[in-house]
Structure 1
Amino acid sequence: MSQKNLIVAFGGVSPEHEVSVLTAIQAISALEESSYNCIPLYITKSGRWLTGEKLLDLSNYKEISKLESDAISCAFVKDETGRTLLKEQESAGFFSKPKSYPVYAVLCAFHGSEGENGSFQGVCEMMNVPYSGSGVLGSSLGMDKVKAKLVATANGIPVTKAVNFYESDWEKEQEEIINVAEDFGYPLIVKPVSLGSSIGVAIANTREELVNSIETAFRYDAHLLIEEAVNPLMEINCSVIGTPEDCRPSVCEKPLGQTETLSFEDKYQSGGGEKGMASADRVIPADISKELTKKIRDLATKTFSVLDASGIARLDFLVNANTKEVYFNEINTIPGSFSFYLWDKSDIPFNMLLEELIDIGLKKHREKNGRVRSYETNLLSEKAIKGIKGLKGSKN
């Protein structure tokens, strides 16, 4: 069987850059025996697009400046037939020519910022190439915790009380914002609105800690969220695969962190770091009742659908350990390690999970191209252009 070029896109201008590298290398390794020819598309922290075989070796990322100098600049281009190619912008050697790879599909392995917020997905849409995961709307909703909660609330999905504000609001209305937040009662959770992996997230038990946490979080995002804390807290996560019209949940997990809320270190460095999200300590399946498991899985699929997610996502929930009340916390539209550890416990190995993820993207692309995508008019005909020119000379 001839291999098809699968562009694995990762890295990006994001605080979660390194996590994305881990996820991409894991996926490429899992697809070694597949029908796909995995071509790396690494976006550096400065936004350069690079490709080349050296990007496939995780050990090379220890010397990132050397790796970037050894890799090859590239870009998406259209050939004369309209086909999209990943084209090298320079040759790999003195006697070689730049290579071009016809794009069969793109596997998005970004985490955070421009790679996960819909921006890169928009590039894929413009280039008309199939890509994995949520589309532009679902990706942008998933990255914005405030908008995601608004959509969830409008659809009867419970969320915790919260107040959100921009840096300009904080400069003018600091006292008012603090007073609203303190009405929820301490402890309070401070979060950047558009970041994942718990970067910039902090627990505040006093006003002083609250102010310090807010000032720190503004280093990462200009839009922040202060939430009431669920106490006593139990975090339960569930992955979902499919489309808004047809999706199914994985088993649930109960993450185990060193603090009340999982930190970046809890998620990615507890097992040495090289396994990405799969290194975190967790109980799978979560040791909760059948009733609570069903409730969370049902909420996960409903939230996945109303947020217009697609592909694989992980939905995180906050549970009051005493009352068993459940609150939607956030959705990760490209979860660390593609949440393969949850699907492995659901009897789907990583390679098959990735194959299904790619197939979902291919199906969405076929459906999109099966619709009318242009509308023939005579707007630019000679007569119409004369009419437009006439408008320039008209007076109100």
Structure 2
Amino acid sequence: MDATTAPAPVPAPLPEGRPRVAVVFGGRSGEHGISCATAGGVLAAIDRERYDVVPVGITRTGRWVLVEDEPERWRITDGRLPEVTDAHGAEVLLPRSTEDTELTVVRAGAVPSVLGRVDVVLPLLHGPYGEDGTLQGMLDLAGVRYVGAGVLASAVGMDKHYMKLVLAGQGIPVAPYTVLRPGAWERDPAPWTAAVEALGLPVFVKPARAGSSLGISRVDDLADLPAAVAAAQEHDPKVLVEAGVQGREVECAVLGGRDGAQPRTSLPGEIVVLDPEHAFYDFEAKYLDEDGVALSCPADLPQDVIERVRDLAARTFEAIGCEGLARVDTFVTEGGDVVVNEINTMPGFTPYSMYPRMWEATGLAYPDLIDELLQLALARGTGLR
């Protein structure tokens, strides 16, 4: 059967009454704590008159557990990141087929109990084993709706190497880079050192498949390259080395369009690192040092540059086949050129994160943004689309 005669997928029926949302967070990646903090913000803001909410945490070992529906429990407190642990006890079993959309809870020494149907999953996981298409694939297998990008877009967005290949193939400007594949550096670092030197210093050494600036180093001297590679490999055996771009760090939030319409873009925001202790917008600057950075939204840019950022953000979103939401990070050079740094298919989502702050500045409040994302997911059919 060829593509012209293949039947279109049949969308699952929309739920009646108040939809039940499984808010899933935590996970096995190094961004576990940030995922929990994101969940704290969402649990506090989601409209309980419109949605039934079931918070489900994933421990660092991958166990799914029923957790407290207490937003304050999942905040960053005194620099300490929250965590999902086995102490929560009750294990959650996922739907087993497209005909079974119920969650089952298993408690030690007790008969398994049915928690109820799930109409949509809000997967607030960052990094591998959640943001990279793995969770999305599992939900697709079970025929469960979810917020955000599908399998392919999630995987491409997570892997900075393939993200750059896809974007460059669509004519979207990206910074020059080289990729250190697993084992290649250990076999012979000389050709890779030469490739990095050819990029020009400084360079940024990054895990290819990680977020929240984990494992990233700025290298101004080639003597520091081995240590930077080792730091990145703590998070991912594949390492991306990117030429430094002289420019302002400007981000733009993207929201999927309704009923097949074009994606919507926010006013751009700019990150300014104030504390000289931070060589760039690293993990500590993002989450643990509120006074070390300034987040300016909307960014103070000429109107034509603002439009260029928004246009590139929408094109980037469409280039990888993204759905729901994404944050597109760019560099704006002194001459007004815009270079795409990366796309995040599940950006940080606390009330203070750049993604909701940019929408707030554009006129869409945090609770309304969450509602819009859930409505987009509920209106989206399951299966191929």
TM-score (structure 1 length as normaliser)? 0.84
Q: Determine the structure 2 residue equivalent to 1:385.
A: none
What are the equivalent positions in structure 2 for 1:206-245 lying under 5 Å apart? Answer: 206-231=221-246, 233-242=247-256
- 1:40–1:55 contact (8 Å) kept in structure 2: no
Q: Deviations over 1:116-152 (max 9, x none)?
A: 0000001110110110000001100000001010011
User: What residue number does 1:342 align with?
Assistant: 358
Q: Is the CA contact 2:24–2:123 (under 8 Å) kept in the aligned structure 1?
A: yes
Preserved CA contact (<8 Å) 1:54 1:71 = no
In structure 1, what is the equivalent of residue 266 of structure 2? Answer: 250
In the alignment, does 2:259 pair up with 1:261? no
Partner of 2:168: 153
Deviations 1:357-376 (A, max 9, x none): 1121122226x48x8xxxxx
Question: In the alignment, which residue of structure 1 is the partner of 2:298?
Answer: 285
User: Residue type of the partner of 1:112?
Assistant: G
Q: Say yes or no: does 1:361 pair with 2:345.
A: no
Deviation at 1:59, TM superposition (A): 5.9
Cα 1:11–1:207 change in 2 (3 A) is same
> Per-residue deviation at 1:296?
0.6
Alpha-carbon displacement from aligned partner over 1:258-287 (angstroms, at most 9, x marks no partner): 335210111111239xxxxxx963100001
Shift of 1:327: 1.0
1:82 matches 2:99: yes
Instruction: Say which of 270, 290, 293 aligns to 2:289.
Output: 270
Change (3 A) 1:343 1:60: closer
Q: Which residue does the alignment assign to 1:184?
A: 199
Residue aligning to 1:379: none
Superposition deviation, residue 166 in structure 1: 1.5
Aligned length: 358
Aligned partner of residue 18 in structure 1, secondary structure: helix
Which has the larger helix fraction? Answer: 1
Any idea what SS the aligned residue of 1:302 has? helix
| 1:45 to 1:349, Cα distance in 2 relative to 1, 3 A | same
Structure 1 alignment gaps of length 5 or more: 273-278, 372-396
- Whichever residue aligns with residue 264 of structure 2, its letter is R
Identity of aligned residues (%): 30
Assess, with a 3 A threshold, how the Cα gap between structure 1 residues 159 and 17 changes in structure 2: closer, same or farther: same
Distance in 2 (CA, whole Å) between partners of 1:54 and 1:360 is 24
Q: CA deviation at 1:45?
A: 0.4
Cα deviation for residue 180 of structure 1 reads 1.2
The answer to whether the aligner puts 1:328 opposite 2:345 as a matched pair is no
- Bigger Rg, structure 1 or 2: 1
Summarize the Cα distance change of 1:59–1:122 in structure 2 as closer, same or farther, 3 Å threshold: closer
How many angstroms apart in 2 are the aligned matches of 1:300 and 1:38? Answer: 31
- CA offsets per residue over residues 38-70 of structure 1, 9 Å max, x none? 101110001000014366551699797895323
CA contact (8 A) 1:55 1:71 kept: no
Tell me the distance in 2 between the aligned counterparts of 1:234 and 1:249: 19
Shift of 1:2: 4.9
Partner in structure 1 of residue 316 of structure 2: 303
Note closer, same or farther for the CA distance 1:38–1:55 as it changes in structure 2 (3 Å cut): same
Q: Is the 8 A contact 2:253 2:327 kept in 1?
A: yes
Residue 354 of structure 1, CA deviation = 1.0
Distance between the aligned counterparts of 1:5 and 1:326, measured in 2?
A: 41
Mapped to 2, the partners of 1:169 and 1:105 lie a distance apart of: 42
| Contact 1:112–1:143 under 8 Å retained in 2 | yes
**Cα distance in 2, alignment partners of residues 134 and 189 from structure 1:** 27
Cα contact 1:3–1:35 (8 A) shared by 2: yes
CA–CA distance in structure 1, aligned partners of residues 375 and 37 of structure 2: 22
User: What is the aligned counterpart of 2:180 among 162, 165, 190?
Assistant: 165
Change (3 A) 1:120 1:323: same
Distance of aligned partners of 1:345 and 1:66 in 2 relative to their CA distance in 1, 3 Å threshold:
closer
Q: Give the aligned CA root-mean-square deviation in angstroms.
A: 2.6
One-letter amino acid of the counterpart of residue 375, structure 2: D
In structure 2, give the amino acid aligned to 1:269.
Answer: L
Bigger mean CA deviation after superposition, 169-178 or 141-150: 169-178
Query: Compared with structure 1, are the counterparts of its residues 67 and 220 closer, same or farther at alpha carbon in structure 2 (3 Å cutoff)?
Result: closer
